[in-house]
Amino acid sequence: EAGVAQSPRYKIIEKRQSVAFWCNPISGHATLYWYQQILGQGPKLLIQFQNNGVVDDSQLPKDRFSAERLKGVDSTLKIQPAKLEDSAVYLCASSLVGFKNEQFFGPGTRLTVL
Amino acid sequence: GENVGLHLPTLSVQEGDNSIINCAYSNSASDYFIWYKQESGKGPQFIIDIRSNMDKRQGQRVTVLLNKTVKHLSLQIAATQPGDSAVYFCAEPKSDNYGQNFVFGPGTRLSVLP
């Protein structure tokens, strides 16, 4: 079974630039999560989708972050404009419906904002 | 708010010894906990879970203990191997009324010495 795919794996940008990350979840997983993991910390949930609807975006900085999952499969997370403090690993995870189902994580995208 | 934390940020053990990683949680209503392992450059990987109606759950070489009286979790790894070197996170459900997802602790780095 293919795992969660993310791209790019690494991205370096300057502050005030824009960046987008892509995630392809495991086939059949209706729930998709985006997490931000700052170095030395645990992952922090940014947004949770079920199919193409948003379940929880309470911790998403909506003035600069946006995410979509238009067809209920792939998802993109965008930052515009980026700030230095956005430097982190952005993890995508997916699971079957029901939050106590195991979440499968992708390898993450490491973002460095200079 | 939630407070899922770890007593020790780093832990070094000799290969073959047993490891114990601790986690404190603050929400006494949490009914489910998960331990994740995150190797360098990878996303977190599910290790084991436990529901609040249990005190102990065993997996392959791992045991999770739950003490609801003091709101404490521990992950025990038997006969620690070099491949166990990673950061370990505990996670508990968010306690707000948003979507159903998890709060991760800050993590403990386990280093296995030869």
CB contact under 8 A, B43 and A107: yes
Alpha carbon distance A29, A5 (integer Å): 13
Tell me the percentage of chain B whose pLDDT exceeds 90: 72
Residue pLDDT tens, chain B, 114 long: 344 544 448 999 999 999 999 999 878 888 899 999 999 999 999 999 999 999 999 999 999 999 999 999 999 999 999 999 999 999 998 866 555 788 998 899 999 998
The shortest C-alpha distance from B67 to chain A (Å) reads 20
Give the pLDDT confidence of A11-21 residue by residue, as tens digits. Answer: 999 999 999 99
The overall average pLDDT reported for chain B is 89
Alpha carbon distance A27, A94 (integer Å): 9
CB contact under 8 A, B46 and A103: yes
Give the pLDDT confidence of B63-96 residue by residue, as tens digits. Answer: 999 999 999 999 999 999 999 999 999 999 886 6
Is the bond into B82 cis (omega within 30 degrees of 0)? no
- Could you say which of A41, A45, A91 has the minimum Cβ distance to residue B101? A45
Alpha carbon distance A87, A47 (integer Å): 18
Quick check: helix, strand or coil at residue A85?
Answer: helix
The strand order across the sheet containing A65-68 reads A5-7, A19-24, A75-79, A65-68
Tell me the β-bridge partners of B103. B92
What pLDDT does B96 receive?
Answer: 66
CB contact under 8 A, A108 and B43: yes
Is the bond into A43 cis (omega within 30 degrees of 0)? no
Interacting residues of B74 by C-beta distance below 8 A, sequence separation 6+: B20, B21, B22, B23, B64, B65
What pLDDT does A8 receive?
Answer: 98
Q: How many CB pairs under 8 A join A and B?
A: 59
B positions 37-66 inside 8 Å of A (CB): 41-46, 49
